[in-house]
Amino acid sequence: MGWVSPTGHDDPDYRWTNEILAYDEDTETYAYTQSESKFLELILTSPISCDKIQIYANMYFYGNQPVDVDIDLFYDGDWQHLHDGVISGLEWVEKAIGLTKTVSKARVHFNNTAAESG
């Protein structure tokens, strides 16, 4: 199976802009936030079995800079922490789950402001 993109989102704190562009499969478009510690949830139509995810992100005003991001996945009935730290900007980054899990959604927030996900 190839990569599966989310089909919906939830912005529970109303802090993101252009949320749908976070999963439109175009790295030239993006969702963004200027607020730290506010999650954007990315939702799948149906849960999928997977052992890794990928993310493409960058700092909105700073171009190809490392991005400090927190990533959680929803499986086994609760949010599970996957990653909290720096990833490369402006390139696809894979993060392994460790085991194959049935994942229904992911959520991300950036630990530095003016970050975007596309």
- The residues spanned by each domain of the chain are 8-111
Give the whole-number percent of the chain exceeding pLDDT 70: 89
Quick one: the chain helix, strand, coil %, rounded to 5?
Answer: 5, 60, 35
Overall average pLDDT of the 101-109 stretch: 98
Q: Which CATH superfamily is domain 8-111 in?
A: Galactose-binding domain-like (2.60.120.260)
Overall average pLDDT of the 35-61 stretch: 90
Q: What are the residues facing 87 on neighbouring strands? A: 67
Confidence of residue 66 (pLDDT cuts 50, 70, 90): confident
pLDDT digits (tens, 9 = 90+) for 2-38: 899 999 999 999 999 999 999 999 999 999 888 776 9
Give residue 65's pLDDT: 80
Could you write out the DSSP letters of every residue in 61-109? TTBS--EEEEEEEEETTEEEEEEEEEE-SSSEEEEEEEEEEEEEEEEEE
Structure tokens at 71: 């990533």
Give residue 84's pLDDT: 96
Contacts of 20 (CB under 8 A, 6+ apart): 9, 31
Residue 117 in this model has a pLDDT that exceeds 70: no
